[in-house]
């Protein structure tokens, strides 16, 4: 089994493996290239994103700056939007559904380090001097809004339709269709039709307009 296979499957692996180091360098170079593009360079940005995230859906949009460890361990569905200064640390797989929104400064961090200090230290192995690391996958369902400054730790699942409030730290699973917030992040309440933006803003739509809006 290669070090990449160990890494992606959540096993202990050698982060100084030459192939992994080359993969990380490639991801950083592509991200740097993307972050230097002009705002109107849509085709150039699309080509870079396809190279950096080969397992992505249609109509994705990434605001700079973006950071990722490898890129190839990220999958996202159609219509994914990622706001400014987000980081996808995809040592383990990060799976993102359709119609997902990331606010600015969202961090998805799959890497893990040992709790015991003696296990965190780098030491001499037969094939070199390094520390052992591992990672846990993250799964985000469809139609999820992850607001500004959220950190999502490895090993969690966020159910479809949920909203993660700004500044939350997600360390355990979040069920579908809830508003969740806090450090650590916990479900606050279910999301219902009463949360519709038209009702919240006190807007009454003409009957003829309602047919243009799904699930009104």
Per the listing, tokens 């997600």 go with 170
Asked about 113 being catalytic, the answer comes back as yes
Catalytic residue, from 18, 36, 113, 120: name it. Answer: 113
Q: How many CB atoms lie within 10 A of CB 192?
A: 8
Q: 136: Cβ–Cβ under 8 A, 6 or more apart, which residues?
A: 10, 92, 110, 112, 153, 154, 155
Q: Are 150 and 134 in contact (CB under 8 A)?
A: no
Tokens of 130: 């390094």
Beta strands 134-135 and 86-89, pairing class: unpaired
Query: What secondary structure letter does DSSP report for 134?
Result: E
Rounded to whole angstroms, the Cα distance separating 150 from 115 reads 23
Q: Are 55 and 34 in contact (CB under 8 A)?
A: no
Give the residue numbers marked as catalytic. Answer: 113
């Amino acid at each position: 089994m290669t070090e990449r296979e160990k890494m992606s499957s959540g096993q202990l692996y050698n982060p100084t493996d030459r192939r992994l180091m080359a993969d990380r360098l490639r991801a950083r170079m592509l991200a740097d290239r993307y972050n230097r593009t002009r705002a109107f360079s849509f085709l150039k940005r699309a080509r870079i994103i396809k190279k950096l995230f080969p397992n992505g859906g249609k109509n994705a949009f990434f605001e700079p700056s973006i950071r990722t460890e490898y890129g190839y361990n990220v999958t996202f569905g159609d219509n994914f939007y990622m706001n400014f200064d987000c980081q996808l640390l995809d040592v383990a797989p990060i799976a993102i559904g359709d119609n997902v929104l990331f606010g600015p400064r969202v961090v998805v961090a799959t890497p893990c380090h040992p709790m015991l200090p003696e296990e965190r230290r780098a030491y001499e192995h037969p094939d070199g001097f390094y520390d052992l690391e591992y990672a846990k996958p993250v799964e985000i369902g469809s139609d999820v809004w992850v607001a500004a400054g959220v950190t999502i730790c490895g090993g969690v699942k966020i159910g479809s339709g949920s909203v993660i409030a700004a500044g939350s730290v997600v360390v355990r699973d979040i069920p579908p269709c809830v508003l969740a917030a806090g450090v650590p992040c916990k479900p606050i309440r279910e999301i219902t039709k009463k949360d519709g933006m038209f009702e919240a803003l006190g807007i009454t739509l003409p009957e003829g307009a309602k047919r243009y809006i799904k699930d009104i």
